[in-house]
Structure 1
Amino acid sequence: WLEELSDIPHVVISRGQVPPGKSDHHYMPGQFGYEASAYIRFILECWDRMPKWTAFVHAHLRSWHNTDITEILKRLFWGKYPYVSLNMLAYSFRKGTTPKWFHGRFDHSSGDWPFVAEQWNKYYAPEFGPMPSYFEGRHFCAQHVVDRNL
């Protein structure tokens, strides 16, 4: 599906076999931290030359969390917001569908909340302060667009 977005520069970090002749693909051994490990690798390798906007997405075109990632990226208002979760946008582009929560809301009642809150307090709070209230009800990491200055 990357061919449909040929005007957008891209790098592919793959946990699987890199196809022959694909110079834009990089191999990532192991499965540590789901997609976060690939995202972190990209950030570390490109720290000094990060583009203004980066879309972190999965390799599949369609999944339970998006209907068609190419349509989402084509219609995105690049630069309007410093962070955009691409998961919720999946339902904005298909007529007759409405947003739904994936695996339930991500808030104080979810099983992951204590872990996320603990990690926020440990790693981010000293620099950024308390966890923002707008984090509640959102799913992070899976797919998003972020401003390098965020």
Structure 2
Amino acid sequence: MPLILFNKPFQVMCQFSPHPSRPTLADHIDVPGVYPAGRLDADSEGLVLLTDDGRLQHDISHPLKKLAKTYLAQVEGTVTESALARLRAPLDLGDFTTLPCQAVRIEAPAWLWPRTPPIRQRADIPAGWLALTLTEGKNRQVRRMTAAVGLPTLR
């Protein structure tokens, strides 16, 4: 039972099937029969678990399991207590309302690798970092949540 911990780069599709314009997991992982347990969108980077164990994949990614997953996000703007309180509470995103979550302001991780291409920097607008721990994983949820409280995700 292989279990692969993969640091998915920016702009890589979280799929093995070919994509017309972007690299996929198949361009990085040459292990037959493994599949991602969950997904990160192409604009996101970070840990993706891959396995050939269907039960483990189900336990990690099925919404009914409500497995907590923590996401670090660099956001544009100053992370205020008010924004954190809104993120922690159920948040109406139009097509769904989020479950309560944990949201904390953090320092920029010292261990974080540089991103290629680099994040845009605007001297007149500060950036901050958040750690969000969610028990659900809707499409682009972190990006949508931070944007809804006035803190667009940069990374």
TM (normalized to structure 1)?
A: 0.30
Larger proportion of strand: 2
| TM-score normalized by the length of structure 2 | 0.29
- Give the structure with the larger helix fraction: 1
